[in-house]
Amino acid sequence: MSQTLSRPPSRPLPEGKITFEQFLQWLDQDTHAEWVDGEVRIMSPVRPNHQHVVVFLTNLLSWWLARRLPDAVLLTEPVLMKLPGDLPAYSPDILILLPENAGRERESHVEGPADLVVEVISPESRARDRGEKFENYEKAGVREYWLIDPERRRAEFYALGEDGFYEPITADAQGVIHSRVLEGLWVKPEWFWQKPLPSLLSVFHELGLR
């Protein structure tokens, strides 16, 4: 049984492999888990620094979408995103569906890949986020993948190329990363490890949002 260190779920873990439908029936609102290779993966509680960055990015992206792409959908963990076929169901820190894909939202989960996924890396998730999840998001067709590692002060941004493989999105001469999915949005990686994090008002001013 696949699992990470966390508080125990409110009900016993299923024995052996189960289908995604069985996983959804087993899951309750008090359990934060993912479905990987037919097994339940209980997720670890996050550290405050991780949550600060997630909240900062959620607020920034929500504000930007409300003004530039109001019909897009932004969701945060513990919402599940079921990748196609026998690929896993993950719970990304942040996911965005463009308006044309908003119909992938279901009552219990998102069915299919998001257009943009953000994972804020914790020490215990680093290998999964940069290895297993990278490979599966790429395979599933997640068009853009951001990996933010505030502890190591490292941020990586990838866009799906025409060949179906991720290619890095490199910073321009000003150190700015331009999203390829959210046209017109740019970010500065150093925002994510400033202490304290920059105020949203100052970031909105830089982005020209009012």
Q: For residue 93, count other CB atoms closer than 10 A to its CB.
A: 23
* DSSP run (H or E) holding 151: none
Give the per-residue pLDDT at 9: 58
Give the per-residue pLDDT at 29: 84
Say whether both 124 and 59 belong to one domain. yes
* 3-state class (DSSP) for residue 110: strand
Say whether both 194 and 159 belong to one domain. yes
Say whether both 90 and 193 belong to one domain. yes
Say whether both 37 and 59 belong to one domain. no
Say whether both 26 and 86 belong to one domain. no
Amino acid at 130: R
Beta bridge partners of 36: 39
Say whether both 120 and 173 belong to one domain. yes
pLDDT of residue 6 exceeding 80, the answer is no
Say whether both 146 and 200 belong to one domain. yes
The pTM of the full predicted model, rounded to 2 decimals, is: 0.91
Say whether both 71 and 151 belong to one domain. yes
How many separate domains does the chain show?
A: 2
Range of the domain at 32: 1-45
| Closest C-alpha to 89, from 111, 68, 71 | 111
Give the per-residue pLDDT at 3: 38
Say whether both 77 and 150 belong to one domain. yes
- Mean pLDDT in the chain? 92
Say whether both 65 and 77 belong to one domain. yes
pLDDT tens digits for range 108-125 = 999 999 999 999 998 877
- Rounded distance between C-alpha atoms, residue 3 and residue 43, angstroms: 7
CA quadruple 161, 147, 115, 107: dihedral positive or negative?
positive
pLDDT tens digits for range 51-80 = 999 999 999 999 999 999 999 999 999 999
Give the per-residue pLDDT at 31: 87
Q: Which of 29, 45, 61 is the last residue of a domain?
A: 45
User: For the range 15-21, what are the long-range contacts, defined as Cβ-Cβ under 8 Å and sequence gap of 24 or more?
Assistant: 20/82, 20/89
pLDDT of residue 148 exceeding 80, the answer is yes
Say whether both 54 and 153 belong to one domain. yes
Say whether both 166 and 72 belong to one domain. yes
CATH number at residue 104: 3.90.1570.10
